[in-house]
Amino acid sequence: MSRRTACLAAVAWLSASSVLAHEHASPASARAWQAGDHHVHSRFSVRYEPGPDLSLPPTPILGGDARYPIPTNAQMAQKHGLAWMVSTDHGGPNHAKINRDQAYPELVASRAAVPGLVQFYGMEFDTPGGDHSSLIVPHTHHERDVLFDIEQRFSKRDAFPQDPGRDAEPKMLDALKHMKAIETPPVVIANHPSRSATGMGVYGHYTPSEFRDWNDLAPTVAIGMEGSPGHQAGSLKPDGSIDPEGHRGGYSKSPTLGGFDQMTARLGGFWDSMLAEGRAWWVTSTSDSHRHYTEGGNDFWPGEYAKTYVWASRSHADILDGLRHGRVFVTTGDLISELDVTARAVSRAAPSAEIGGRLRLTPGQDVRITIRLRDPAGANHGGRTPAVSRVDLIWSEASGPAADRTTDRNPRARVERRFTSADWVREGEILTMTHTVRNVQAGSYLRVRGASGSELEPTPDPAGENPWDDLWFYANPIFIDVAPKG
432-452 confidence digits (pLDDT tens) = 999 999 999 999 999 999 999
Instruction: Break the chain into its structural domains and give their ranges.
Output: 3-482
- Residue 28's pLDDT is what? 77
Please say if the pLDDT value at position 9 is more than 50. Answer: no
Contacts of 401 (CB under 8 A, 6+ apart): 1, 2, 3, 5, 6, 277
* Mean pLDDT over the full length of the chain: 94
- Residue 295's pLDDT is what? 97
Q: Give the pLDDT confidence of 283-338 residue by residue, as tens digits.
A: 999 999 999 999 999 999 999 999 999 999 999 999 999 999 999 999 999 999 99
d(CA 369, CA 340): 10
The β-bridge partners of 433 are: 371
| Structure-derived torsion over alpha carbons of residues 197, 198, 204, 209, reported in degrees to the nearest 10 | 80
For 387-413, what is the mean pLDDT? 97
Please say if the pLDDT value at position 16 is more than 60. Answer: no
Say which amino acid occupies 21: A
- Residue 27's pLDDT is what? 78
Interior/surface letters 156-175, b for 16+ CB within 10 angstroms, e for the rest: bbbbeeeeeebbebebbbbb
Residue 20 pLDDT level (bands cut at 50, 70, 90): low
Domain 3-482 architecture: Alpha-Beta Barrel (3.20)
Q: Give the pLDDT confidence of 146-163 residue by residue, as tens digits.
A: 999 999 999 999 999 999
- Residue 10's pLDDT is what? 46
Other beta carbons within 10 Å of 474:
27
Q: Of 373, 344, 351, 352, which is closest to residue 436 (Cα–Cα)?
A: 344
Whether the predicted model's global pTM rises above the 0.85 cut = yes
